[in-house]
Amino acid sequence: MDFPDFLPLKTLETQHPDYMAIAPTLTRIDDLAAGGHQLEAKKRQYLKPRTGEEQELYELRLQKFTYTNVLGGAIAQQASKLSSSSLSVTGLESHDKFWQKFRENNNRKGRSEKQLLTETFRDALKFKRVYLHVEKPYLEVSPRTKQEEEALGASPYICLYTPLHVTNWGEGDTTALDWIKIRQVTTVTSPFAKPALKATWTFITGTHTAKYEAFVKLGKGGAIAELVNQKGDTLETGEDAKVSLLRAVPHRAGKLPVVMMEVPDDLWVTNQAYLKALEHLRLENSRSDTAEMVGYVQRTWKPHVVADTDLDHTFVDTEEELKTGNQYVIKGDFSFSEAQGTSLASVGGVLQEIRDVIQDMIGMARASATKGAVEQSGISKKLDYVVQELILKSYGSLVCDAYQDLLQLVAIVAGHRKEEAETISVTGLDSFDVDSLETMLAIAIEITQIEDHLPITVLKLFYQQLSNLLVKNASAEQQAQIAEEIEQLFDRSALLKDAVEAVKMKQIQQAGDDPLPAAA
């Protein structure tokens, strides 16, 4: 595909119809899951004026804006639960140094393998889709050998994009994606100039990666209003403004270097839970507004009413303020009224119900998340985790499949042979027992009684899984070393058993060759 030197801003800003339909929902999900300052900056969008409410009162309510991030907390705990399971990657032996370095730092900024998988799952849970782009640093010179490429730091790395970044795409006849367009607006800072906004449009195809860049000023809703230079001076305005091509670089992936992980509709639970989060936000702010009035004491004065003795004249009060000091005696009555707030308890119960529903939808809660949970037996509580574990296994299978495709793609982009890339396999993320370490230790004790009847491979995999549970924060290099030491351990054990068997057989043979003792 040939990329022109200039493209109209209107063309670059073109969006896929599906993106235009889903983007508002994804933005709301992102705001509600992030909470904090991101949501507070948009509080007018989520906390609307009441019918007939004066602007002054509405502004006072906005000042008291509050939000409990139930949705984000449920997503974070689900992601944490998935990451607690162990992961096994095989087929990396031929380039172990390359893979150890990549698994420790897959984005050139120190992101580990575990962090990448957690971030991928969390974004997929929020947005249904996530895009993993295998990129290589741009070099002004072309390296002639693999050694020169590694010396120049041109190893592949991973860029993770959400559907909010991918504004347009094309679908192939045999593939899910033929090309994608990524739109990003970032802030560029300099010690000698004011911060400036830079828009980047990245086109990724099966052969090239092309980038168009321009400094911009944004208008309403984040739309680009005009093109400017880095100092902020206007260059062009309108949709016909031209944006120049930064570069178009061929890649050697042989296909689109992007892995898309997509969650099925029945597992995209955030799509349903965010509506309950919106309800929780509105009710919580209503309760907060009411709670501030509870206990507020208001003084009321009722003047003394007497019959009018002169029906031909009407008493008109003067503009003087009523004198109420201790030296004055006034016939009348003072009373005090206090807001009771009887609705707070019922609203609090509704908020708790909404929180339980959100947690159930995301999968963090169990059936035992009720008032009688403490009365249940240990076995009953374990049974409550069955459904959650089945859901987590479904997510784990999706993550493993996507990560396997990603590692195979990284191997191709790095210049490894296709046969080597195809041997890479990713398994795991399928065990989420609450007491998995204790269970594995109990099995390890019992397994000593039957280990002679089990294949060596079964024992190797079991002890490797046990080691992962014992040292969950081990680096990729340490995990590889553990796997190698387990291999050596069982190899020595096998040799020792063979030697013992050989000695026993020799003793039996010698016993058979010895003459029988003479009868007395």
* Structure-model confidence comparison of residues 440 and 190, the more confident one: 190
Q: Say which amino acid occupies 14.
A: T
Phi, psi for 128 (deg, rounded to 5): 80, -40
Q: How confident is the model at residue 365 (pLDDT cuts 50, 70, 90)?
A: very low
Task: Say yes or no to pLDDT of 438 above 70.
Answer: yes
225-234 mean pLDDT? 85
SS3 content of the chain, % helix, strand, coil (to 5): 50, 20, 35
- Residue position matching structure tokens 């009413």: 305
Q: What is the pLDDT of residue 498?
A: 62
What average pLDDT score do residues 496-511 get?
Answer: 66
When mean pLDDT is compared over 322-331, 348-357, 438-447, 460-469, the highest value belongs to: 348-357
Lowest mean pLDDT among 155-169, 341-355, 390-404: 341-355
Cβ-proximal residues to 367 (8 Å cutoff; 6+ apart), any chain: 384, 387
Count of H-run helices and E-run strands, the chain: 16, 15
- Residues 331 and 304: beta-carbon distance below 8 Å: yes
Give percent of the chain with pLDDT exceeding 70: 78
Q: Look at 226 and 335; give whichever has higher pLDDT.
A: 226
Q: Looking at per-residue confidence, does 48 or 236 come out higher? A: 48
Going by pLDDT thresholds of 50, 70 and 90, the confidence category of residue 495 is low
Residue 371's pLDDT is 45
d(Cα 419, Cα 89) in Å, to the nearest integer?
16
pLDDT at 519 over 70: no
Range with lowest mean pLDDT among 243-252, 310-319, 422-431: 310-319
User: What's the CA gap between 21 and 240, in Å, rounded?
Assistant: 25
pLDDT confidence of residue 316:
54
At residue 457, the pLDDT reads 83
Most confident of 311-315, 468-472, 474-478: 468-472
Residue 212 has a pLDDT of 97
Q: How confident is the model at residue 372 (pLDDT cuts 50, 70, 90)?
A: very low
Identify whether the C-beta of residue 389 lies closer than 8 Å to the C-beta of residue 363. no
**pLDDT of 81-110, one tens digit each?**
898 888 889 999 889 889 999 999 999 999
Q: Report the range out of 3-17, 281-295, 387-401 with the highest average pLDDT.
A: 3-17
Instruction: Give pTM, 2 decimals.
Output: 0.77
- pLDDT averaged over every residue in the chain: 82
Percent of the chain clearing pLDDT 90 (strictly above): 45
The arithmetic mean of pLDDT across residues 179-200, rounded, is: 92
Residues sharing a CB contact under 8 Å with residue 224, sequence separation 6 or more, in sequence order: 9, 13, 199, 216, 217, 218
Q: Are 396 and 431 in contact (CB under 8 A)?
A: no
| pLDDT above 60 (res 278) | yes
Q: Would you state the torsion angle of the CA atoms of residues 134, 135, 136, 140, taken in this order, to the nearest 10 degrees?
A: 160
* Most confident residue range from 22-26, 73-77, 231-235, 350-354: 22-26
d(CA 192, CA 477): 42
Name, in order, each residue with C-beta under 8 angstroms of 436's C-beta and a sequence gap of 6 or more.
469
- pLDDT given for residue 385 in this prediction: 66
Confidence of residue 332 (pLDDT cuts 50, 70, 90): low
Question: Among the listed ranges 117-121, 234-238, 328-332, which one has the minimum average pLDDT value?
Answer: 328-332
Q: Would you say residue 174 has pLDDT above 80? A: no
Q: Does residue 56 have a pLDDT over 50?
A: yes
Instruction: Give the mean model confidence (pLDDT) for residues 101-121.
Output: 94
Mean predicted confidence (pLDDT) in 117-145: 89
Q: Among candidates 457, 464, 456, which has minimal Cα distance to 440?
A: 464
pLDDT (average), residues 475-501:
73
CA dist 423 and 427 (Å) reads 13
Are 90 and 425 spatial neighbours (Cβ–Cβ below 8 Å)?
A: yes
pLDDT of 384 strictly over 90? no
Q: Which pair of structure tokens corresponds to residue 144?
A: 């002639």
Greater pLDDT, 240 or 284 = 284
Give the CA angle between residues 307, 313, 317 to the nearest 5°. 75
**Residue 88, pLDDT score:** 87
Rounded to an integer, the average pLDDT of 395-420 is: 94
CB 133 within 8 A of CB 161: yes
Helix axes 113-127, 378-413, angle to 10 degrees: 110
State yes or no: pLDDT of 511 exceeds 80: no
Give residue for tokens 């459904």.
387
According to the per-residue pLDDT averaged within each range, which of 174-183, 304-313, 488-497 is highest?
Answer: 174-183
The pLDDT of residue 229 is above 50 = yes
